[in-house]
Amino acid sequence: MRTRDGREFTRFHDQPAKGEPQNPFTPREIEAKFRKVVSPVLKPDKLDRLLDILRRLEDVDDISELASLMAANDSYQTHEMTKSVARSGWWTLHGCGD
């Protein structure tokens, strides 16, 4: 990388980044990331149920419960999503703030 004042920074990694095909996430890491991303919008019991369905998705005959669990339609989800967005600074970053 070259900065505006002409300085150059380089960094070499001899190992592929985590998540690349040569260095994939473990199932435990995938679940941890999923929980981190989804927990602001789903109650813990719904999140656990969603994970249970996703783990056996190939054997699920009716995905209506899956769709229902993924819909953010109750007040907890809406409130938690709003708090998460507010904490992230999304509104300011996207020109919605002062």
Per-residue DSSP letters for 59-78? G-S-THHHHHHH---SHHHH
Is the whole model's pTM more than 0.75, yes or no? no
Higher pLDDT, 63 or 78: 63
pLDDT digits (tens, 9 = 90+) for 73-93: 555 555 555 566 556 554 444
Question: Is residue 53 within 8 Å of residue 65, measured between CB atoms?
Answer: yes
Can you give the pLDDT at residue 18?
Answer: 86
Can you give the pLDDT at residue 91?
Answer: 47
pLDDT digits (tens, 9 = 90+) for 4-62: 999 998 887 788 888 889 999 999 999 999 999 888 888 899 999 999 999 998 998 99
